């Protein structure tokens, strides 16, 4: 892959936030120039083998999930965490059937589980991690909650990198690119604590019967503005470096995943920044993880080549997402009266004069023993399925079998 070098890197305490990098060629020929980095495909493949891709899914069109599953490069492991309906029709069963069929003809390693499986709740309970359980000791609804389950499964496989992709993508090949972009980011990273966040080049909409290649969505534009304002008010220098505040498509090293805290539902992505600002930003006095602080935490923001076309879920959904995002900003330690007043102004119509509630924050998952966690699931969790990677028989083995 040939990818632009970042033109600037914002240093904010222990954080290195790289400016947007464009994908110049998905497949390149080894020609480097001062403005671009060439990453050979064997290096990308090496990262893919150490990466698990988590797909959180809730009642999406099964054809979309099917396309996403088929587009994910073979070398990485897929982990599907579903919160889809189980009755009157068992949508999860349909999803598992699709997974089984894909495994049947590809032999790719795929794990899947249902978020509401009582044994999943029990495994979290046994691990002493009850922050995402409801009163019935089941995992709460929420995309972030599903992502956390996925991360622990990834850790149980010893994966060093964990990526996420939504299940409602209409362009399967864009998903393939996203995963390759993650790997490219990790090939460039110098710190073991790093994250790759994708910025879609376009998010097309139909306007007056024509496709309009829109660049920004309302939520991401607003979230980015306020995340940048948090940095600017602290440093005294205006910045526009953050362009991936709501990046649903992102990946991180397992080392970083282990130390982060997570916000509930859809506020998970903007909260990544808030957690990092509060704990590793400028002039933070106490470092929770000095190793990470001294290694530095790198954030790559890659602009995809593909446009992103996904299922639209309506205005109310968008308002809720905006509210969740801005709540995390409002309650950030860096947030001063000026930023708070601006956030309230922004939320005007949605909040109707109330102040945004603090979102639920779930602490780090680093203390959970992933092997014990999976042991609880194996054999007891009805929804848990593990489709192992097939081994391709060598010619000699085949000959032995035939004789
Ligand atoms: N496991 C699980 N549990 N998955 C869920 C849940 C849940 O409770 N709720 C939603 N999902 C899945 C959806 O099925 C989809 O695959 C993915 O999470 C994203 O949910 P959408 O409802 O499609 O979100 P969106 O498209 O509006 O927003 C996405 O993009 C934003 C950036 O533009 C999300 O990824 C946001 O988190 C992101 O900020």
Model pLDDT for residues 140-165, shown as the tens digit of each residue = 999 999 999 999 999 999 999 999 99
Q: What is the pLDDT of residue 243?
A: 97
- What total number of domains does the chain contain? 1
Residues 3, 11 contacting (CB under 8 angstroms): no
pLDDT at residue 349 is higher than 80: no
Q: pLDDT band for position 209 (50/70/90)?
A: confident
Q: pLDDT band for position 398 (50/70/90)?
A: low
Ligand 1 atom 28 nearest Cα: 248
* Å from CA of 214 to ligand 1 middle: 20
Q: How many CB atoms lie within 10 A of CB 132?
A: 22
Whether residue 396 lies inside any domain: the answer is: no
**Pairing, β 2-4 against β 51-57:** unpaired
Question: At 35, phi and psi to the nearest 5?
Answer: -95, -10
- Which has more pLDDT, 134 or 283? 134
Report the pLDDT averaged over residues 378-385: 95
Q: What is the pLDDT of residue 287?
A: 85
Whether residue 18 lies inside any domain: the answer is: yes
The tokens of 62 are what? 């099964």
The residue whose CB lies within 8 Å of the most ligand 1 atoms, and thus the one to mutate among 84, 166, 251, is 166
Q: What is the pLDDT of residue 313?
A: 85
Q: What percent of the chain has pLDDT over 70?
A: 96
Look over the chain and give the mean of its residue pLDDT values, rounded to a whole number.
94
Residues 381 and 396: their CA atoms lie apart, in Å, by: 39
pLDDT at residue 138 is higher than 80: yes
Q: Give residue-wise pLDDT tens across range 2-34.
A: 999 999 999 999 999 999 999 999 999 988 788
The residue whose CB lies within 8 Å of the most ligand 1 atoms, and thus the one to mutate among 53, 55, 58, is 58
**Pairing, β 262-263 against β 385-387:** unpaired
Q: pLDDT band for position 329 (50/70/90)?
A: very high
Whether residue 103 lies inside any domain: the answer is: yes
Least confident of 130-144, 180-194, 275-289: 275-289
The residues near 188 (Cβ < 8 Å, ≥ 6 apart) are: 3, 37, 39, 300
pLDDT at residue 122 is higher than 80: yes
Residues 144, 361 contacting (CB under 8 angstroms): no
- The residues lining ligand 1, judged by C-beta closer than 6 Å to any ligand atom, are 56-58, 60, 81-83, 115, 141-143, 146, 166-168, 217, 220, 246, 248, 266, 269, 310-311, 313, 317
pLDDT at residue 129 is higher than 60: yes
Q: What angle do CA 335, 338, 339 make, to 5 degrees?
A: 45
Least confident of 187-196, 278-287, 302-311, 344-353: 344-353
Q: What percent of the chain has pLDDT over 90?
A: 82
Whether residue 379 lies inside any domain: the answer is: yes
Q: What is the pLDDT of residue 392?
A: 56
Whether residue 358 lies inside any domain: the answer is: no
The tokens of 255 are what? 């080392």
Q: C-alpha 345: how far from its chain's center?
A: 29
Ligand 1 atom with least separation from CA of 59? 14
Residues 85, 59 contacting (CB under 8 angstroms): yes
Q: Give residue-wise pLDDT tens across range 210-256.
A: 889 988 888 999 999 999 999 999 999 999 999 999 999 999 999 99
Helix axes 41-49, 172-188, angle to 10 degrees: 100
Domain containing 194 — which CATH number? Answer: 3.90.550.10
Report the pLDDT averaged over residues 69-87: 98
DSSP 220-289: HHHHHHHHHHHHHHHHSS-------TT-SSEEEEHHHHHH--EESGGGHHHHHHHHHHHHHSTT-S--S-
Helix axes 268-280, 143-156, angle to 10 degrees: 70
Exposed, middle or buried by CB within 10 Å (0-12, 13-18, 19+), for 340?
A: middle
DSSP 90-138: -HHHHHHHHHHHHHHHH---EEEEETT-HHHHHHHHHTT--TTB-TTSS
- Which has more pLDDT, 392 or 199? 199
Whether residue 102 lies inside any domain: the answer is: yes
Q: pLDDT band for position 280 (50/70/90)?
A: very high
Question: Which pTM value belongs to this model?
Answer: 0.95
Q: What is the pLDDT of residue 211?
A: 87
Q: What is the pLDDT of residue 397?
A: 62
Q: Give residue-wise pLDDT tens across range 81-99.
A: 999 999 999 999 999 999 9
**Pairing, β 51-57 against β 161-164:** parallel
What is the domain range of residue 300?
2-201+246-307+368-389
Report the pLDDT averaged over residues 165-189: 97
Q: What is the pLDDT of residue 393?
A: 55
Ligand 1 atom with least separation from CA of 219? 33
Ligand 1 atom with least separation from CA of 82? 1
Whether residue 341 lies inside any domain: the answer is: no
Whether residue 286 lies inside any domain: the answer is: yes
Q: pLDDT band for position 402 (50/70/90)?
A: low
Report the pLDDT averaged over residues 337-365: 87
Q: pLDDT band for position 353 (50/70/90)?
A: low
Match 């997570």 to its residue by tokens: 262
- Which has more pLDDT, 101 or 348? 101
Q: What is the pLDDT of residue 33?
A: 85
């Amino acid at each position: 892959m040939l990818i632009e070098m970042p033109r600037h890197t914002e240093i904010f305490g222990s954080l290195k936030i790289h400016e947007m990098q464009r994908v110049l060629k998905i497949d390149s020929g080894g020609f480097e120039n001062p403005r671009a980095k060439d990453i050979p495909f064997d290096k990308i493949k090496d990262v893919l083998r150490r990466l698990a891709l988590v797909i959180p899914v809730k009642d999406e069109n099964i054809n979309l999930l099917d396309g996403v599953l088929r587009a994910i490069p073979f070398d990485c492991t897929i982990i599907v965490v579903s919160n889809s309906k189980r009755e009157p029709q068992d949508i999860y069963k349909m999803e598992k059937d699709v997974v089984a069929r894909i495994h049947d003809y590809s032999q790719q390693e795929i794990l899947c589980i249902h978020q509401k499986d009582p044994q999943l709740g029990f495994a979290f309970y046994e691990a002493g991690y009850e922050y995402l359980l409801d009163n019935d000791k089941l995992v709460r609804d929420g995309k972030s909650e599903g992502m956390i389950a996925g991360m622990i499964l990834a850790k149980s496989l010893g994966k060093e990198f964990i990526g996420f992709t939504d299940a409602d993508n209409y362009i399967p090949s864009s998903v393939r690119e996203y995963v390759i972009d993650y790997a490219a980011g990790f090939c460039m990273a110098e710190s073991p604590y790093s994250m790759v966040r994708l910025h879609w080049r376009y998010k097309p909409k139909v306007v007056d019967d024509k496709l309009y290649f829109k660049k920004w969505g309302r939520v991401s534009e607003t979230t980015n503005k306020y995340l940048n304002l948090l940095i600017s008010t602290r440093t005294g220098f205006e910045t526009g470096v953050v362009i991936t505040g709501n990046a649903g498509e992102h990946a991180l090293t397992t080392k970083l995943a282990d130390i982060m805290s997570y916000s509930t539902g859809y506020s998970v992505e903007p909260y990544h920044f808030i957690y990092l600002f509060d704990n590793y930003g400028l002039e933070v006095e106490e470092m929770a993880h000095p190793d990470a602080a001294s290694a530095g935490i790198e954030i790559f923001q890659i602009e995809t080549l593909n446009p992103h076309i996904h299922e639209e879920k309506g205005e109310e959904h968008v308002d809720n997402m905006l509210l969740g995002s801005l709540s995390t900003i409002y309650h950030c330690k860096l947030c001063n009266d000026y930023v708070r007043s601006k956030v309230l102004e922004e939320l005007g119509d949605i909040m109707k004069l109330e102040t945004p509630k603090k979102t639920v924050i779930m602490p780090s998952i680093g203390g959970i023993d992933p092997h014990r966690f999976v042991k609880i699931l194996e054999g007891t969790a009805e929804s848990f399925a593990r489709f192992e990677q097939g081994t391709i028989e060598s010619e000699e083995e085949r000959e032995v079998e035939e004789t």
